[in-house]
Structure formats: C-alpha cells, structure tokens
Amino acid sequence: MVDETGKQLGIMGLFQAIQLAKERNLDLVQVTEKVEPPICRIADYGKYLYSLQKKERKIKQIGGELKVIRIGFNISPHDLETKVKMAERFLKKGDKVKIEMRLRGREKALQNFAREKISQFLKLIETMTPVKIERELKKDPRGLTMIISKK
C-alpha cells in the first residue's frame, strides 16, 4: 500500500485501506493485480488516469513527426545537397521524413529519371547518417513518395 505522497504504508486489509482513503477524501486505486497481495495506491483517480494517458501519449510521440521534403524534377545538385542537410536535421531530431517528387505533365513519362534523382538523394543522405526505409518508393497519382527514418 502506497499513499499519494509515495510513502509506503505496508500490507493492510481491504476495508482498512478503503477507510484510510475515505478519511483523506481520495480513492483506492489498484496499480497491479499480478502479485499477491495486489498493489494499491491511495490517490485521486482522475489524476491517476490523466498520468496514464500522458504516458501513453509520450510513447506514441517517440516515433516522431512526419516531415515532408519536396524535391523538384529538375533540381540542381547543390539544391539536392541542401535538401539532404534539411532531412538529416529532421532525422537527428527523431522525426520521419517523407520524400516527395511531384511529377507534372510530360515529367510523368520520365519516371526512371525521377527515380534516379531520389536514389541520388538517398545515397547523399546515407553518407551522412544511416537511414531505414519505412516505406519503399511508391508511385502516387501526383508523383513518387518514400518515407525514411533514422536507424
């Protein structure tokens, strides 16, 4: 048994624990039932639920945000290096990076050239930081996309 301040109260009966919680205008919250006797805590149940939700949200955020880097069809080598540095900065923060290449008009006919540009981008970024491909290069109605993250 643990009270709201974290102080150990020891093993006690159920009715005694409920009485102690009522005296303090708090709730008796069962933390785990896997052990014998079950571990309980005297706390405000609303605050307890809120802290559990906060922990879950923090676990979800570990994956990081999805940042988008758009590469043009006729991008110059220097501009490609600039985009690589930007992607590297995102990856170091723990974010995932979506690489997009929009293809318009006749550019759609030259998809092999577009795939080569994206492979150049990947080669440049792998020289700086190792990356893991989350989603392979995929053809969308508007162009090509790929998602990468840090290894």
At residue 31, what are phi and psi to the nearest 5 degrees? Answer: -80, -45
Asked whether the whole model's pTM tops 0.95, one would answer: no
Inter-residue contact 101 to 70 (CB < 8 Å)? yes
Inter-residue contact 143 to 101 (CB < 8 Å)? yes
Q: Per CATH, is 14-61 categorized as 3.10.20.80?
A: yes
Q: Which CATH architecture has domain 66-150?
A: 2-Layer Sandwich (3.30)
CA dist 144 and 149 (Å) reads 17
Break the chain into its structural domains and give their ranges. 14-61, 66-150
Fold equal for 14-61 and 66-150: no
CA dist 122 and 91 (Å) reads 13
- pLDDT tens digit string along 52-111? 888 887 766 666 788 999 999 889 999 999 999 999 999 888 889 999 999 988 888 888
